[in-house]
Each structure stands twice: as C-alpha cells, then as structure tokens.
Structure 1
Amino acid sequence: MLLDKIIEGIQMVKGKNISVINLKNRDNFVCDYFVICNGDSHNQVYAISQSIEKMIIEKLQKKPWHVEGLKNREWILVDYVSIVVHIFQEQLRFYYDIENLWNHNT
C-alpha cells in the first residue's frame, strides 16, 4: 500500500523513470525498497517530494521519518523507514547510478 501510494505521488507530478529495487532479501539492510525517480528541474524534484508526502499523509496518515536535500533540490531523499525514495535531477541520477550499484550487489 505504501509503495503504491509513493508511486502514485510521483506520477501525479510527472516524475520520470520510476524504478523500484527490492531489498528484502539482502542481509543487514535497513529498508525493504528503494524507489528512484527523476525530475527535469530543481522545482520538479521538489514538487515530486511534496506530492509524495501529501499523498501519504492524506491516504495513510503517515509522515516521513526523515527528509534530506530540500535545500539544494538536486537529490531529495524521503525516508519512510521500510521504503526510501530517491528523487534526482536527471544528470545526478546517472552520475550516482544507484540502481546499477544495488543491482550488482545481490
């Protein structure tokens, strides 16, 4: 349910390239999923984070445990403990390539 609402929140403001990495079967990992997406600008990255938070508060009455990156709006991390959302500007997403990093560490 939480995962579905996060994705819905991203889609509401046209977040791009949504990727979900299942981490449930990894040893000693603190969350179940990474959700990764990107936006085209600082404003869109911020809007995606706000859309997710609004969706989860309205539908599930749950606030994020922690949020980082709101000031520079290049990579915002929204942490719901079991799911961590990474919202990037496109160039940073490809630079850090966290999908590839975690897909090779299975």
Structure 2
Amino acid sequence: MIVNCILDKKGEQVVNMDLSNLDDAIADNFIICTANSNTQVRAIADEIAEKVKLQTGESSVRTEGTQTAEWILIDYFQVVVHVFKREIRDLYRLEELWADAAVATEYLPDGSTQPFMIVPQKSKPVFAFH
C-alpha cells in the first residue's frame, strides 16, 4: 500500500529494505523513495498518511521533516518511510548505512520489482540524526 502511494505520486527510486535480520535496526523495514521537489516530497508523505489511515485506521507514531520537506520520515513502528528530495537522498545515502539488510527490493514505475544492489560510493555517506 505504501509503495503504491509513492508510485501514484510519481515517486522514484522506490526501495524496500528488509532490516528484520539486524539487531540494531529501529524498524523491520525501511521504504525509501526520491521526489524531485519539496512539493512532491510533501505530496507523497501526505498521500501515505491519508491512505494508511483510511485503509488501516493507523496513524504514524511520528512524522518528522514536514517543515522543510527535504526529507520526511514517517514512522509506523515496524515500517519507517523516508521520502527524500533527490539531492538530499544523494547526500545521505541511507541505503549504504543499512547495507547489511537481508533483502532490498526496488519498485519500478510500472509496479514490477527487481533486486536492489547497494553499491558503496568512494566517499562516506553523510550521517546526522534527522
């Protein structure tokens, strides 16, 4: 459902990372996506919150980043959604920080999937608590 919300709002580079095998993970899954503008970041986050509430009755435990809309984090406890503006995702490279994930799947615009390969960059990703 979350992935469909992202694809409906034209989110790109949609990746689901299964972190359930990691003892120090803060959630079982991260769903990460890219948007091209602050407006699109906000639209994707709003769509997710609305559809999850409508279909499950659940609200997020917390939502962060709505002020700047460069990186919005939506925490559903077992699933954490990260909606990034393109340049912010390129800067933080969250996938590299959690490269030990059991499985990472990329969702393509047509709804099909493929394995997502994490290719570390030469420079280290920037990390800051968001």
Partner SS, residue 35 of structure 1: strand
Query: Where in structure 2 are there 5+ consecutive unaligned residues?
Result: 103-130
Larger Rg: 2
Instruction: Verify the 8 A CA contact 2:17 2:101 in the aligned structure 1.
Output: no
Moved over 6 A (4+): none
Q: Residue 57 of structure 1: which of 53, 58, 83 is its match? A: 53
Number of equivalenced pairs: 102
Using structure 2 for the length normalisation, give the TM-score.
0.75
User: Are 1:82 and 2:97 matched, yes or no?
Assistant: no
Residues 1:67 and 2:67 aligned together:
no
Give the residue type in structure 2 aligned to 1:53.
Answer: A
Percent same amino acid among aligned pairs? Answer: 33
> Aligned partner of 1:74: which letter?
E
Greater helix share, 1 or 2?
1
Q: TM-score scaled by structure 1?
A: 0.91
Unaligned runs of 5+ in 1: none
Residues 47-95 of structure 1 deviation map (CA, whole Å, 9 limit, x = unaligned): 0000101110111111111000000000000000000000000011011
Going from structure 1 to structure 2, the CA distance change for 1:42 and 1:51 (only over 3 Å counts) comes to same
Query: Partners of 1:8 and 1:54 in 2: how far apart?
Result: 13
Equivalent position SS for 1:56: helix
